[in-house]
Amino acid sequence: MKFPPEGLKYKQMKPEDFFNKPATPSKSEKIKILANDGLAKAGVEQLENAGFEVISTKVAQEQLAEYINSKNIRVLLVRSATPVDKKLIDSCKNLKLIGRGGVGLDNIAVEYAESKGIKVINTPQAASGSVAELVFAHLFSGVRKLFDANRNMPLEGESRFKELKKSYSAGIELRGKTLGIIGFGRIGREVAKIALGLGMKVIASDKEVGEVKITLEFYNHQSIEIPIKTEPVEELIKHSDFITLHVPAQTKPLIGKKELDAMKPGVGIINTARGGVIDEVALLEAIEEGKVSFSGLDTFEAEPRPAIKLLMNEKLSLSPHIGASTLEAQERIGLELAQQIISHFKK
């Protein structure tokens, strides 16, 4: 009998065919997902029900590549805490998808990942309302000096109650004031809705958007549309009583000394976008000079170690980058990521 039998074709195998073969999972093998910065229970359950294996172990950055390779991780999910740079991407040949729980993608080398055939996804809609509400938490705290009162009341509330009452009795209202929104994407529009509902006047600025219709919804399916035309930042900062930023990470500050000088005296500034969009040194100088009455910061140039001068300033309302960190937003983020992952692998 001849070998191979007549009619049976075979491929001449080379040595490299036996080694370094890409680890493609069999149909019965579950695709592994590493949620390195956590994932809401609803998202985990949806993925597991669809046949994926979700690992929620927090792996240190210096050990991440080795862990991903040893566990044959196909999907890496992160938030702002885990950077995914070119080095990590090059080290993890089996990665097929990177997901960011949130809007910004500045901690991921997106173009490089996509050039390597890795899909990158995020959740642009899930956290918009949560960030917008935090803006107003800082605004209300600022105009009534609650952030400072909360520092002093535990220490001196019993011994100096009347003095503290007098000190914090010069608050102002948001109603009737003008709010300037720099960056009029999803979050900026959610901010506008709340502002309009409070009776504030809204000015918006955006490089790409010319006019937006903001829909306010009320009880019993009633609604009203309010058109808002955007205008240059230079005009916005001149007329705003308060300014809030909702832009991507910048290569240089969008608000520096020049812009601060052009603002109204006593302006309040909120940044829940990205560290570095405001020149922090110029901001502190403007606060010390009385140009800026207060500022609310959720993001910082030097995360996770903000400048000590910021942390100690009594006219700053501070939070540790928690804009999207509500239970509702985290559940929406988890579900949105899960749906995108399932759609990608099951198509």
For the chain, 347 residues long, give each residue's pLDDT as a single digit of tens. Answer: 455 555 544 445 554 444 444 444 555 579 999 999 999 999 999 999 999 999 999 999 999 999 999 999 999 999 988 999 999 999 999 999 999 998 888 899 999 999 999 999 999 889 999 999 999 999 999 999 999 999 999 999 999 999 999 999 999 999 999 999 999 999 999 999 999 999 999 999 999 889 999 999 999 999 999 999 999 999 999 999 999 999 998 999 999 999 999 999 999 999 999 999 999 999 999 999 999 999 999 999 999 999 999 999 999 999 999 999 999 999 999 999 999 999 999 87
* Per-residue pLDDT, 125: 86
The answer to whether 245 and 254 have CB atoms below 8 angstroms apart is yes
CA distance 293 to 243: 12
Provide the whole-model pTM.
0.85
Determine how many CB atoms are found less than 10 A away from the CB of residue 229: 10
**Residue 53 phi, psi (nearest 5):** -105, 120
Amino acid at 82: T
Q: Measured between alpha carbons, how far is 168 from 145 in angstroms, rounded to an integer?
A: 6
Domains of the chain from N-terminus onward:
29-126+328-346 (3.40.50.720), 128-318 (3.40.50.720)
Q: Identify each DSSP E strand in the chain by its residue range.
A: 32-35, 53-55, 73-78, 97-100, 119-122, 178-182, 201-205, 211-217, 223-229, 242-245, 267-271, 292-297, 316-318
- For the annotated catalytic residues, the residue numbers are 274, 303, 321
Q: What is the pLDDT of residue 39?
A: 95
The predicted pLDDT at position 162 comes to 96
Confidence (pLDDT) at 306: 97
Provide, for the chain, the percentages of residues in helix, strand and coil under a 3-state DSSP scheme, each rounded to the nearest 5. Answer: 40, 20, 40
**Gyration radius of the chain's alpha carbons:** 26
Q: What is the pLDDT of residue 28?
A: 57
Residue with tokens 């829909």: 215
Asked if residues 275 and 297 have their Cβ atoms less than 8 Å apart, the reply is no
pLDDT score at 23: 44
How far the first Cα of the chain sits from its last, in Å, is: 46
SS3 340: helix
- Token readout for 342 is 């399932």
